[in-house]
Amino acid sequence: MQSDTDWAVEAVQHASSAPDFAIQKLLSGTHRKLLTLVVINDGARVLLGLKKRGFGAGFYNGFGGKVDPGETIEEAAQRELQEEACITAELKDAGVLVFVFDDQPQPWEVHVFTASSYVGEPAETDEMRPQWFTHTDVPFDSMWADDLIWYPYLLRHEYFRGVFAFRQTTKLAWHTMLPPSPDS
Ligand SMILES: COc1nc(N)nc2c1ncn2[C@H]1C[C@H](O)[C@@H](COP(=O)(O)OP(=O)(O)OP(=O)(O)O)O1
């Protein structure tokens, strides 16, 4: 597993409005939970899934989950895409999101990927029900609150990095978006 998100620590340190819990949890050095998220974007539409169980159930989201020990982040993204949507794809790095929750011990680091095409036929699984949405019809009212902020970058094919602080799991309390790093 690999990650490099010291920029998230700097971002909260330099933001006077960042909530205390976000600053404390990011500065504490607590091991971050690594996750993946894949959004298939064919140029006019995105393929999302309605999460049927577990964290984020009832929200539309891309396909993804936790990085298992011994896996690279991209291997985890491929595995989760196959497990949740029954497809494979050539993945492109789209951005990184760091989430800090007041009710979760660890910050979460979510690596977002896109793909313009895929192999297989998207199919419903135990975890997700896939559905296409046009770019003008993305169901933000039924998605995580952060999505409204970073989807525009994804749809413009612009690499993004963001830090988001949530209270009571789903209430977005604060966020910041950073310019892409020089090597991204
Ligand atoms: C907090 O805001 C979030 N926004 C968005 N768009 N996506 C998020 C947010 N927080 C988490 N996610 C994503 C990251 C992952 O893709 C999933 C959560 O993964 P999950 O907990 O379902 O992981 P699995 O490994 O599949 O879990 P199980 O095997 O235990 O079901 O949500």
Q: Which domains does the chain have, with CATH numbers?
A: 31-97+108-164 (3.90.79.10)
Residue 115 CB less than 6 A away from ligand 1: no
What is the ipTM score, two decimals?
0.97
Which structure tokens are listed for 75?
Answer: 């291997």
Mean pLDDT, the chain, rounded, equals 94
pLDDT tens digits, 168-180: 999 999 999 997 7
Distance 54 CA to ligand 1 centre (A): 8
Does the pLDDT at position 157 exceed 90? Answer: yes
Distance 53 CA to ligand 1 centre (A): 11
Distance 120 CA to ligand 1 centre (A): 23
- Residue 30 confidence class, pLDDT cut points 50, 70, 90: confident
Read off the pTM.
0.96
- Residue 59 confidence class, pLDDT cut points 50, 70, 90: very high
pLDDT tens digits, 99-144: 999 999 999 999 999 999 999 999 999 999 999 999 999 999 999 9
